[in-house]
Structure 1
């Protein structure tokens, strides 16, 4: 059950109540350049690395903000600011039509993306 009345912060904090570090959340800003969005992603990744955290949830929703821009243009702009080891898996989501989950050397059935 998703309650849209509380916004993204509400949904995530209800799903993961023990994680209270939401002050880095950025919202859509009209006419914001893609390089600033890329920079915000990079700052978030650097923070996770610097604090030796196990992982992070970084979600970027391009649908409404960039629905008139080709994905390849967005990817080229973002790629300049994000290390390859983080960027390549995201890039693969746009170019591959399916993916598999590998657990202990056993690949599952392909999942359409």
Structure 2
């Protein structure tokens, strides 16, 4: 989720009371991992997510796999509210992700960059 979340950040996640809205950052359980990704769309039973620097959307997940939404982040001893940490993908972040994908392709690596 860089640039919104950085190495060493600790996210505070609250349980869902309703389906997440597009743009919110949620904690989701995939088969082998937990991820914090941004909601692209949600129809009330299935949601599509994508990391801010991901090249493609994650496969749609059933709503029961969305564990909660990120509200606050502890960064370097400070507790940051959403408007201070959730900056979303910026130009530098998009450039970084594109560069990573191009280098991975050049090296013959597949999968997520």
TM-score (normalised: structure 1): 0.23
Point out the structure with the larger strand share: 2
Q: Which has the higher contact order (CA 8 A, sep 6+)?
A: 2
> Counting helix residues as a fraction of each chain, which structure ranks higher?
1
